[in-house]
Amino acid sequence: MRGRRFFFIAYLFIFFMRIEIACARDQIQISGSSTIFPYAKIVAEAFGEAYHSYKIPVIETGGSGAGFQEFCRGIGSNTIDIVNASRPIKPGERQSCFQNGVKDIREFRIGYDGIIFSTNINGPDWNLRSEDIYNALGAYVVMNGHLQANFIKSWNEINPHLPPWAITVYVPGEKHGTREVFEEKLMLDGCHTSGAFDALKASGLDDKAVDVACRSLRKDGKAVEIDSDYSETFSRLVSNKTSMGILSLAYYENNADRLKVASINAIVPSEVTISEGRYLLSRPLFFYVKGAHLSMIPGLKEYIEFFLSDQMIGPDGPLVAYGLVPASDNERELQRTLLKKK
């Protein structure tokens, strides 16, 4: 009986001792956007193969916003070092970072990502204009010269060249960086070209209210918001053969045997059209690093150098093979010089 009691106490002691030896971290910790996650994973793995003395970084996913929240919690070994973001940091986030002591934030661009409209592989070829998409998805549209709530049911009502499919579009939910780019680049553009902008303005709204109205999507179930990742949109596109969904170019390229991509304003999205800037819906991808951690976490500087090197983000690198649209030579060189600057 006494022996058993001794073991019990010894076990508790050892257990709590282990907690006490929480030492300084020797592994890079990354969080953020799920769009950049596959790229970061490829780099982390190659980093582990190239530098045997460093551990492979731990990469979490949870979206750009959640990533910045963790990033801005402070400095120290129990906070993350890098946040991956599919959009630039917002002023509010920068401010909350500053208040918590994260003052030196370095921004790096890794390349570009295309946002595409896609249908099932068996669908017809689509050529959408910005105003078609706005008229299909916007909350307020101009019909027969009047501004009214959107009750358009099928695509050929908008434009006789489009197929007679009922409108069903899977749009990323509001927490996604993709959604913001879609609103910024496509909905606002379509709002102008379809005439809804002027009509909204004429109805007496101020600039801010017009902007909000242009961005808002119809709420009658034709624009389906998908809060989880692209894989849900993908499985819905495969099962619902007359629907359309928004995906990233990389996701499409990995599943091109089951999906068809729509051209927007007569431009087919591809690495070429995006890097030339002709395709409307593209965005830069970023990661942000805490300057204070560069000297604190072993391998962090090497990891960033490795990420920004041409063997990773260059046109022949593995990230481009996965679906990243590479930045131009000058731009990549600029990112590398950013790291050297103090």
Residues 144-183, one symbol each (x = binds other proteins by CB under 8 A, - = not), give ----------------------------------------
Applying CB under 8 A, which of residues 42, 85, 133, 169 lies at the interface with other proteins? Answer: 42
Residues 6+ apart with CB under 8 A from 79: 70, 71, 73, 290
Cβ pair 261, 248 in contact under 8 A: no
Q: Which stretch binds other proteins (CB under 8 A): 138-146, 170-178, 182-190, 229-237?
A: 229-237
Q: Which stretch binds other proteins (CB under 8 A): 104-112, 162-170, 206-214, 255-263?
A: 255-263
Applying CB under 8 A, which of residues 3, 5, 53, 257 lies at the interface with other proteins? Answer: 257
Q: In 3D, which of 159, 137, 167 has the Cα closest to residue 265? A: 159
Q: Which stretch binds other proteins (CB under 8 A): 43-51, 172-180, 199-207, 292-300?
A: 43-51
Applying CB under 8 A, which of residues 51, 58, 188, 334 lies at the interface with other proteins? Answer: 58
Nearer to other proteins, 43 or 167 (CB): 43
Nearer to other proteins, 41 or 336 (CB): 41
Nearest-angstrom CA–CA distance, 294 and 297: 6
Nearer to other proteins, 62 or 195 (CB): 62
DSSP letters of 227-293? -S-HHHHHHHHHH-TT-EEEEEHHHHHHTTTTEEE-EETTB---HHHHHTT-SSSEEEEEEEEEGGG
Residue 123: phi, psi to the nearest 5? -75, 165
Structure tokens of 82? Answer: 């890098």
Site for other proteins in 64-103 (CB under 8 A): 70, 73, 78, 80
Instruction: List the beta bridge partners of residue 84.
Output: 32, 287
Query: How many alpha carbons fall within 13 Å on the CB side of residue 322?
Result: 20
A 10 A CB-CB count for 237 gives 23
Q: How many residues bind other proteins (CB under 8 A)?
A: 44
Structure tokens of 264? Answer: 């927007």
Site residues (CB under 8 A) for other proteins?
11, 15, 18-19, 21-22, 25, 27, 29, 31, 34, 37-38, 40-42, 44-45, 48-49, 55-56, 58-62, 70, 73, 78, 80, 121, 228-231, 250-251, 254-258, 323
